[in-house]
Structure 1
Amino acid sequence: MQEQELVNAIAKLVVEQLKNVDVCDPKDRIPVGISARHVHLSQADLETLFGKGYELHKKKDLMGGQYAAQECVTIIGTKLRAIENVRVLGPVRKQTQVEVSATDAVRLGVKAPVRLSGDLAGSAPVTLVGPKGAIYLKEGCIVAKRHIHMSPEDAARFGVVDKQVVKVRFESGRGGTLEDVPVRVDPSFDLEMHIDTDEANGLGIAKDMGYLIK
């Protein structure tokens, strides 16, 4: 199958998920954040890419103690297909993780599985290039699974628990429902659903609200 055909197939799958109709209650609204491609680095890999003893420079605070760093890297897939200027998120982690959209995976020529963050066993291999060096990851590239972040107080208000799977309905843009959405609960989390750029484009979302449906 040619690259454009794969992209069209991905778009069709997204649109198919938007056909369900559910009743929305204003009190069940959830803000939506669109997660673009990004990279989490281990300290060892950070130093390989940027130099010995290197530390990330914070650009913007995110939830849960994370932040967007000033640093960017290049992702290289098969046959030297590359995506440049991919943002690094801090702080450093135990294992390097690359998060891309399904369309990005097609562009890179890799078979990245849909996973929650941290579930990297058997994920796709890629190469990362920085200003001081490069690393090859035997595994570590995923398509981030859509999910909702909540504090324990938010979870109690919505009547859900950690790891519960829900649906989220959207009325703006093209409208539709996304199913199989895990809830992740932690005191450090702000209320926000995370979707990737493919899902946002399929739903016609910019800065919209979704409605949680159990």
Structure 2
Amino acid sequence: MNQQLIEQIVGEILGQLGKSPVQLPERAVPIAVSARHAHLQPEHVEVLFGAGYELTQRSELSQPGQFAANETVMIAGPKSSIERVRILGPVRKATQVEVSFTDAMKLGVKPPLRESGNIEGSAPITLIGPKGSVHINEGLIIAQSHIHMAPTDASRFGVVDGEYVTVEADGIRPIAFRNVRIRVNERYRLEMHIDTDEANGGFITQGSIGRLVKPNDTTSGQAVGVTETVITPEPVSVPQSFEFTKRLLSAEDIALISEQEILVNKGTIVTALARDTARELGKTITNRK
């Protein structure tokens, strides 16, 4: 979806509402909020729904060839369960469940923050369907925020596959998303994906439009109360340390920090659950001298 098409769609909608078109920010990027969901491998579809069963399409998703299925499952952890978790199709070679950190606390599980598809060594979870149940030893993750784009978009924005950028939301509750991964593929349609916790933190609603900002861009701040993306001058890897400046470090903070080392000031309160979460995710908490 290119800039001209985005502007045309928004213009048509505002025109139908009798409103004057709003000038979209240059290099606009649509934002989508991804709720908890599951991807299933073929044999698990049959265990959960019956022999020979195939997923049925409920609605198309923004990414070509992807769809939300009519089918849902229950996911169960040590503490609790969550019903009606939507299955996304088509089937995959490995079952994967994506939840938010809030979901994880309710379930009593500690999934790592990972890019979708990277499930090696991730958390276990049980899926329950109308015909049976499946326990997977790995496959439960909290999805890393990312931006899908086609090669033409990547060229237009000056980014490359695997690059990490910062996304700032300047709405009524300003928030910055660090280490948002760029994913480039000819099959992709331009769109940023965040989970419900991230969206709630910034009061971001489905269909928000952001702006990918170059370091020398002098028009920063002109987005219409939406999201901006700041790209680094050249491709970089994820930073190894993060300077935490708040007085209280919680488990939620740990999950949202992608760096492996978290530097805290003397006197910072670190909760017991935060220390447990850090150990589970392979992160270290270091006191600054």
**Secondary structure, counterpart of 2:26 in structure 1:** helix
How far is the alpha carbon of 1:33 from its aligned partner? 0.2
The corresponding residue for 1:172 is: 171
The corresponding residue for 1:105 is: 104
- Report percent identity of matched pairs: 53
Superposition map of 1:1-214 within 5 A = 26-62=25-61, 63-79=63-79, 81-206=80-205, 207-210=207-210, 211-214=228-231
C-alpha distance after superposition, 1:73-109 (max 9, x if no partner) = 0000014x10000000000000000000000000000
Q: Are 1:173 and 1:205, in contact at CA under 8 Å, matched by a contact in 2?
A: no
**Secondary structure, counterpart of 2:186 in structure 1:** coil
**Secondary structure, counterpart of 1:92 in structure 2:** coil
**Secondary structure, counterpart of 1:121 in structure 2:** coil
CA shift in 2, pair 1:163/1:76, >3 Å:
same
**Secondary structure, counterpart of 1:64 in structure 2:** coil
**Secondary structure, counterpart of 1:198 in structure 2:** helix
C-alpha distance after superposition, 1:110-132 (max 9, x if no partner) = 00100001111111111000000
Question: Which amino acid is the alignment partner of residue 156 of structure 1?
Answer: S
**Secondary structure, counterpart of 1:47 in structure 2:** helix
How far is the alpha carbon of 1:212 from its aligned partner? 2.0
CA distance in 1, matches of 2:167, 2:82: 31
C-alpha distance after superposition, 1:47-96 (max 9, x if no partner) = 000001100000111113110000000000014x1000000000000000
Q: TM-score, normalised by structure 2?
A: 0.64
How far is the alpha carbon of 1:29 from its aligned partner? 2.4
How far is the alpha carbon of 1:28 from its aligned partner? 3.0
How far is the alpha carbon of 1:171 from its aligned partner? 1.6
Would you tell me which structure has more helix in proportion to its own residues?
1
C-alpha distance after superposition, 1:167-188 (max 9, x if no partner) = 1121223122211011000111
**Secondary structure, counterpart of 1:119 in structure 2:** coil
Q: Are 2:36 and 2:98, in contact at CA under 8 Å, matched by a contact in 1?
A: yes
Between the two proteins, the alignment pairs up a number of residues equal to 189
The structure number with the bigger radius of gyration is: 2
**Secondary structure, counterpart of 2:105 in structure 1:** helix
Would you tell me which structure has more strand in proportion to its own residues?
1
CA distance in 2, matches of 1:86, 1:176: 28
Question: Which amino acid is the alignment partner of residue 99 of structure 2?
Answer: V
Q: Are 2:175 and 2:201, in contact at CA under 8 Å, matched by a contact in 1?
A: no
The corresponding residue for 1:22 is: none
Unpaired runs of at least 5, structure 1? 1-24
Unpaired runs of at least 5, structure 2? 1-23, 211-227, 232-289
**Secondary structure, counterpart of 1:45 in structure 2:** helix
**Secondary structure, counterpart of 1:74 in structure 2:** strand
CA distance in 1, matches of 2:26, 2:174: 18
